[in-house]
Structure 1
Amino acid sequence: MNAQENDFITRVAKDAPAGNLLRMYWQPIALVDELDMKRAVKAVRAFGQEYVLFKNDAGYGLLDRNCPHRGADLAFGRLEEGGLRCTFHGWMFDQQGGCVETPAEPAGSKLCSRVRQPSYPVVERSGIIFAYLGEGKPPALPPIDAFTADPAYTFAFKGLIECNWLQALEVGIDPCHASFLHRFFEDENPDDSFGKQFRDVSANSEIPITKVLREFEQPDIATQSTDFGFRIDTTRQLDAQTAHVRVTNLFFPNAFVIPMSPTVTITQWHLPVDDYNTYWFAIFTSYEEPMDKATMRAQRLELYSLPDYRSRRDRSNDYGFDADEQAASTYTGMGHDINVHDQWAVESQGRIQDRTKEHLGTSDKCIFVYRKLLIRSIKQAQAGERPIMTGLDLSEMDLPASIDVVVPKDGWQDNWRVAEQDRKARAPWQLADA
């Protein structure tokens, strides 16, 4: 890949090909928790552009951040019943960007009717506020489990990564890195694994996932094109009779769906803040018990600081690296939180990875497949065609399945599906809809 090709798939400004493609899809822009109920107004930066998000009795609104009068910052505006009022001269804007008041103007002025602030569609799903930042009518939201599950069975969070969105996404669709980057030399009690990735056992098994990843580091990887992107089947033959199967998904354009435990999946998006920074947004979906949201949030706030959701382990302190820990406890020496491992891996590649210097191998199959799909989709958008999912009848969509399970080796392709379908069928929120 040359430098121009790397720019083609990484840059996200409004005039950049990849940025234009990503704007054709709903993107997460904030957690519901971030809107202070005393003053539900928040500045948002996405794709290198500035917005202001607000909520009143009429619902959510997302506008360009600078007032169209004289450019003052609407993120410091007054939230009132009629909308968001600029504190410079009192101009007020509703959720649709309509100018509803210009109080300093003479009586009978029609200036309001000639002014409109750019606005964007906004919806709330499972604790995350999504926005459509592209042109024209937005596509339908897909009926994935993370959106359709009862809210009591979901939990949302986010975190800042100081690098380009693409390398942040690619770590999540790389099946091999977990055997190394997330390798632990000791296995925890699964009873203490709540809310922790790779710390539980696989479904239908008593084998800790950490043991599987540590002892079987050369998996077989297969990809299958789907309505939403592609599925990744990663298999590790445990013995003559059984196989460990991990099913994950690339959810186009900038998300993936992965299993966290036998009963919880994670759907994670990667929002480009700009070319050099990314927020990951995740919805954790439970198929068994309601989410203990307070515990999940408290666990994550041990690492992430508010209000920016920055990691307390970062470049400034070498991600908490400890040489003694690396020798005896973890492969990285950076603690037991895999988010720290992932952040180090992608930030250490540079703010934008220089892909002209990389050497991909057979185990990087998913990276090849994704980049090919991304480039094809960017070119389709440039040609005025509909890229993947934007023109799909989502009511008939092949929904992403995701599970980590031990099954009989013979017929594993069918066996994991049976386990996944059984888990979903038994989900309390699924039974309530039946």
Structure 2
Amino acid sequence: MAIQKQFLSKPFAGYLNGPIPEENAELTHVEKGSPGGELLRRYWQPVALTCEVTDVPLGVRMFGEDLVVFRNTSGEYGILDRHCPHRGTSLEFGLPTECGLRCCYHGWLFGMDGKVLETPGDPPGSTLKDRLYHGAYPAREYKGLVFGYFGPVETMPDFPVYDSYEYPGDKLVPYSVSYPCNWLQVQENVMDPAHAVFLHTRVTFSHFSDTWGELPVMDFVETPTGMIYVTTRRWKDKVWVRSNDILMPNLAQVGHIWEDGQEAKQFGRVGITRWTTPIDNRTCKVIGWRHFHPEVDPRGIAREDQCGPGSVDFYGQGAGGSFEERQRLPGDYDAIVTQRPIAIHALEHLTYCDKGVVLFRKLLRRDIRRLATGEDIPLSRHRSNGLIPTYCHDTVLDLPPLEGVDDLELLEEVGRRVTEIVVEGDHHDGDDRLEAVRSKLLDYQRSLLPRAAE
């Protein structure tokens, strides 16, 4: 674990800075055999949008490996090592067949599992093909994304389906954005609610709404799938409790982007589901879905047409304009990628508002070391209607300041109790989990009304 650098204690002390330490390789490196890479490989990972995989193969890079994603003429998706094992020709120029992919150079045919099916340049009696496999990974399509499993096939888990994938009236629109930096610093941004106050609101302009500029009471809580942050803000006569959700190790869910805390609601659901997928140690891709349903876009601001390969419909999520324009109006992309290609943890000076980043790294380190010692990776045991519960939400309560009660203490109490309802209890295994959570939140709000009337 990196030792945190001490603050300099003299003016004009740049000369006193020491050499740049090494990155925290345990958490940041993703190549095969690296501790973090081995953990990430035990989960299904999205590799492409299905709209990117046409009638020709798509070259991709994951975990430092060059691959192709393709669709055979029967409609099945496959993932193969990019270079043909015969003479190294790129299978980006391969020809999809009914059962696999054929190399353009000498016609070798590879099945979906990598089995060499034909070596047509060899004599008719050749048994070479009967002994050979090419590198391949399991693939499947789900709601506009192509997923791969990159770990040992004998440890391949079931494909997890979370409740937010099947939300009533929702439309999941795939998108992706590439980042020229390590995956971890992109994922950590989800557990840094303080940056929304400053980067997204106070420093330049309100990217979402002015309400985000209110410094919230913050808490960070473990869940059966990972962790959430809990931010509790007052906005006039409302109290807004919001939680982003990290589902270990690299899946995250974010609520309504333009939430303003103005309208009462209970357990408003997910606006973004996204994985931070490692391309290699110094590049990654955010890939996932924007959710389009009335709860996350009551004002009609969302733009489905701006979501797709390389873009999403809110500010600061890619390179965008010129470098100078971004210097004047920076967004998430600029704040994240300029932490260096791989952020140096030993140079950070972490404070109270970084407790979420600290907890996320702790959980990641825990799972990495469990895997290394042969222990099982913790998975949620909860199911509601056969789906795994998630905990991202926006809840807005009608609750004016209470006379004689310290408002910060009230916000802490509200945030704590709302979080208990959202995360804990037997109702999370019931088929009516969504309705049960909302009912309990309404009951809690009613219990506060007599206090507000006193």
TM-score where L is the length of structure 1? 0.78
- Post-superposition CA distance 1:365-399 (Å, at most 9, x none): 1011011111111111111222232xx54647761
Q: CA RMSD in A?
A: 3.1
Give the alignment of 1:187-226 within 5 angstroms.
199=208, 210-214=209-213, 216-217=214-215, 219-226=216-223
**Is residue 298 from structure 1 mapped to residue 298 from structure 2 by the alignment?**
no
List per-residue Cα deviations over 1:174-222 (Å, max 9, x = no partner).
111001111169999xxxxxxxxx63xxxxxxxxxx22112x12x2222
Question: C-alpha distance in 1, partners of 2:310/2:70?
Answer: 27
Q: Which residue of 2 aligns with 1:258?
A: 254
Whole-Å separation in 2 of the counterparts to 1:244 and 1:169: 24
Name which of structure 1's ranges 23-32 and 179-188 shifts more when overlaid on structure 2: 179-188
What residue in structure 1 maps to residue 171 of structure 2? 153
Q: Give the equivalent residue in structure 1 for 2:449.
A: none
The residue number in structure 2 matching 1:318 is: 323
- One-letter amino acid of the counterpart of residue 211, structure 1: D
Are 2:194 and 1:181 aligned? no
1:50 corresponds in structure 2 to 66
Query: Which residue is equivalent to 1:127?
Result: 144
Match of 2:245 in 1: 249
Q: Partner of 1:237 in structure 2?
A: 234
| Distance 1:68-1:352 versus aligned 2 partners, 3 A rule | same
- Whether the 8 Å CA contact 1:248–1:258 is kept in 2: the answer is yes
Q: Distance in 1 between matches of 2:310 and 2:436?
A: 31
Does residue 268 of structure 1 match 2:280?
no
| Structure 2, unaligned runs of 5 or more | 4-20, 258-267, 400-410, 423-432, 440-454
Q: 1:94: how far off?
A: 1.2
- TM normalised by structure 2 equals 0.75
- The partner residue of 2:93 within 76, 90, 93 is 76
Q: Does 1:92 align with 2:109?
A: yes
Maintained 8 Å contact 2:326/2:334: no
CA deviation profile, 1:326-356 (whole Å, cap 9, x unmatched):
xxxxxxx24xxxxxx1110011111011111
Q: Distance in 1 between matches of 2:383 and 2:270?
A: 24
Give distance in 2, aligned partners of 1:6 and 1:230: 21
SS in 2 for 1:182: helix
Contact 1:165–1:275 (8 Å) recurs in 2: yes
Asked whether the equivalents of residues 23 and 344 of structure 2 are also in contact (C-alpha less than 8 Å), the reply is: no
User: Could you say if the C-alpha distance between residues 144 and 287 of structure 1 is closer, same or farther in structure 2, counting changes exceeding 3 Å?
Assistant: farther
Identity %: 31
Cα gap change, 1:412 to 1:311, in 2 (>3 Å): closer
Corresponding letter in the other structure for 1:74: L
Question: 2: CA distance between counterparts of 1:393 and 1:415?
Answer: 22
Check conservation: 2:227, 2:246, Cα contact below 8 A. Answer: yes
For each residue in 1:51-86, what CA deviation from the matched residue of structure 2 results, as whole angstroms up to 9, or x when unmatched?
111112051111111112122211111112232111
Structure 1, unpaired ranges of 5+? 189-197, 200-209, 324-332, 335-340, 427-434
User: Would you say the 8 A contact 1:143–1:395 is kept in 2?
Assistant: no
* Residue 330 (structure 1) aligns with: none
| One-letter amino acid of the structure 2 residue matched with residue 346 of structure 1 | I
Number of aligned pairs? 375
8 Å contact from structure 1 (residues 167, 346) kept in 2: yes
Q: 1:143 aligns with which of 154, 161, 173?
A: 161
- 2:57 aligned with 1:62: no
- The structure 2 residue matched to 1:19, chosen from 8, 13, 37, is 37
Matched to 1:183, the amino acid is: T
Q: Larger C-alpha radius of gyration, 1 or 2? A: 2
Q: Corresponding residue for 1:204?
A: none
* Match of residue 41 from structure 1: 57
Tell me how far apart the structure 1 counterparts of residues 97 and 205 of structure 2 sit (CA, whole Å). 54
2:372 matched to 1:382?
A: yes
- Call closer, same or farther: CA 1:84–1:363 in 2, change over 3 Å: same
Structure 1 pair 393–403 and aligned structure 2 pair: CA distance change class (3 A):
closer
